[in-house]
Amino acid sequence: MENKMGTEPIRKLLIKMSLPLMISLLISNLYNLIDSMYVSSLGESALSAVSLSAPIMMMMAAFGSGNAIGLNAVLSKALGENNPEKVKKAIRTSLFLSLASYIVIVTSRLIIVEPYFSSQTSDLEIIRQGTAYLNTVMFLAFGVMFQWVLERLLISTGKTHLFMITLSSGAIINIILDPVFIFGVPVLGIPALGVQGAAVATVFGQTFSASLALYFNYKYNKEIEMKFSLVPDWSTFIEILKTGIPTAFMQGFVSVVTMGVNMILISFSTTAVAIYGVVLRILNMILIMPNGIGLGVIPIVAYNYGAQKRNRVKEAIKFSVIFSVLVGVIGMIVLSIIPSFMLGMFNPTDEMKTIGITAIRLLSITLPLAGVSIVLSSFFQGIGLAKYSMYLSLTRQIILLLPIVFLLSLTKILPLVWIGFSVAEGLALIVGYILYKRSYRDVLMKIQEYTVEECCI
């Protein structure tokens, strides 16, 4: 019998696949939010240190997400084509890439961490705390590198309920261990590690998730064969990189832009940097729904594209866009009404409140715009046009966002800087629509799918 991704009604299938992803992402983003809440109790410098760490964390995620997205597209297409040998090669190669990525990360930390923080701020306390945090996360990054791939195997084969368990369990462990390692438990001989304790809790959670995902793939994922090798299949290696490198570059560009934005904001105050980190976490809590639907749509689009089912691909993207717009608009309205409540969770100073309320209201305008861009990016990846995802990201993050924010910062009016984010998202969405129309014409219209509806036109 054919896989459910080629037969089940699209809306039902998208909801079924995306809902567990959204729940998992909710828990994952929740522990990032709780991390910040715990760290904020250590003082504004600690919160600034974690916020300044974000670009390097994004750079690490670029390795994992590039590998995972490349695997997702190659594996789902191979399953749609009923090519078991290709499935084996994709898995073996992606596991090799996970190991290679970890080696790069653990080596580069010796070179980049201290110079990075010194280039961002002259505050010695922020440098000290940030260096301890990043060194820990990077040295123990093997868990998260394999987590990306092992969980993506569950997603690609439609076992999103197992993915939900792996990601959620790691997040819950992180939440539990945060106060243990940050504040210490003298009775058990556990010292208070401060900001570094948040990093220790994070890597514990990531490693547990990876281990559980490995077990689930061996035990329940009968559609694939788990086999590790130090010698990848080089043709599959190139195919994964062809899809994954644009995604990795996209994530890397986001990292570079975040560094640039932090440097712009720190010219106003370190408080502005801390607020930016907090608001991003709040916005990400809402964007988990577009991100979840985006993750769900990639294997559906890839499978049905491989199976030559054009109408199912069209229906999937249409439903996903409408869903993302509605979520974004609702989120924007809610955040505009309760910004003080959201900030209250982070022990804000009076200056943080003043800056933060305005920042939340202005940055929330990006939500419906960003949601559509996320879905379009997923669509491009699903049909093998990952370069379009890169073009869209380049437009949003490099060509538009950073220059617009920088120019508006010259006015020395911080609220104008926040407005720059929405201006960039709006202009980028126009580019995304143009790329979508081109992909529809050049790719989808070439699928010769016979349906009763087309017959009667």
User: In terms of Cα–Cα distance, which of 306, 431, 309 is closest to 369?
Assistant: 431
CB 429 within 8 A of CB 372: yes
Query: Which amino acid does the sequence have at 266?
Result: I
* Domain parsing of the chain, residue ranges: 4-455
CB 143 within 8 A of CB 102: no
CB 221 within 8 A of CB 154: yes
User: In terms of Cα–Cα distance, which of 427, 281, 260 is closest to 359?
Assistant: 281
Cα within 13 Å of Cα(27), Cβ side: 21
Size (the chain), residues: 457
190 phi and psi angles, rounded to 5 deg: -95, 115
- State how far the Cα of 48 lies from the Cα of 123, in Å rounded to an integer: 10
User: In terms of Cα–Cα distance, which of 321, 319, 404, 336 is closest to 369?
Assistant: 321
Query: Which amino acid does the sequence have at 62?
Result: A
User: In terms of Cα–Cα distance, which of 282, 235, 252, 239 is closest to 389?
Assistant: 252
Per-residue tokens: 356 = 């933060």
- State how far the Cα of 272 lies from the Cα of 264, in Å rounded to an integer: 10
- DSSP string computed for 368-401: HHHHHHHHHHHHHHHTT-HHHHHHHHIIIIIIII
Q: In a structure prediction context, what are the per-residue pLDDT tens digits for the chain, which is 457 residues long?
A: 456 666 778 888 888 878 877 876 787 677 677 788 888 888 888 888 888 888 888 888 888 878 887 887 787 777 777 777 777 888 888 888 888 889 999 999 888 898 988 888 888 888 999 999 999 999 999 888 988 888 888 877 777 788 878 888 888 898 899 999 999 998 888 899 999 999 999 999 999 999 999 999 888 877 676 666 677 777 777 877 777 776 677 677 777 888 889 889 988 988 898 899 889 888 988 998 998 888 888 888 888 887 778 888 888 889 999 999 999 999 999 999 998 888 888 878 888 888 999 999 999 999 999 999 999 988 888 887 878 887 887 888 778 998 999 999 999 999 999 999 999 999 999 999 999 999 888 877 777 654 434 433 3
